Amino acid sequence: MALYTDIVMDHFMNPRNVGSIENADGVGEVGNAKCGDIMKMYLKIKDDKIEDVKFETFGCGSAIASSSMATEMIKGKTIEEALNVTNKDVVDALGGLPAHKLHCSVLAEEAVKSAVKDYYDKNGIAYDKKKFPECENCESCRMV
């Protein structure tokens, strides 16, 4: 289908890392059902590294593909590296998204950040709050 690139369709039809992690070290949920997109990300973290990641997404094809791609991009990476993954990186890795779907990639970036923030909070690790915008203030809901 011409709406999405082959990579988007591949990640939509065969999403990687779908599911949840029991006793995850960090869980982040962004978006809201009213707008039609929710992403939930689960992280297993060991020695500052993302050992495992799973996601659950309620949303359109590009939301599912963005979640899948983001999990692939952060799996096995350090937290620092994961936090540096931007929505643009996700879009580029997907070979592009239609303009009105770019917010899905923002949601993926925010889901990762939200899960890391949860990990930090749970473990009493100090962090720069400015790097972790509250979901309702994030770009995703303003871009549409």
Specify whether the CB–CB gap between 66 and 4 falls below 8 A.
no
Give the angle 121-22-7 at the CA atoms, nearest 5°: 90
Q: Using CB under 8 A, pick the residue from 11, 25, 26, 39 that binds other proteins.
A: 39
Specify whether the CB–CB gap between 44 and 74 falls below 8 A.
no
Which residue type, as a one-letter code, is found at position 95? G
Determine if 26 is a binding residue for other proteins (CB under 8 A): no
Question: In whole angstroms, how close is the CB of 35 to other proteins at the nearest point?
Answer: 6
Q: Using CB under 8 A, pick the residue from 21, 38, 102, 112 that binds other proteins.
A: 38
Q: Say how far apart CA 2 and CA 143 lie, in whole Å.
A: 23
Determine if 61 is a binding residue for other proteins (CB under 8 A): yes
Determine if 63 is a binding residue for other proteins (CB under 8 A): yes
Catalytic residues: 35, 104
Q: Within 10 A of 27 (CB to CB), how many other CB atoms are there?
A: 18
Question: In whole angstroms, how close is the CB of 19 to other proteins at the nearest point?
Answer: 8
Instruction: Quote the distance between the C-alpha of residue 27 and its chain's center.
Output: 11
Determine if 102 is a binding residue for other proteins (CB under 8 A): no
Interaction site with other proteins (CB under 8 A): 1, 9, 12-13, 15, 18-20, 29, 33-40, 55-61, 63-64, 100-101, 141, 144
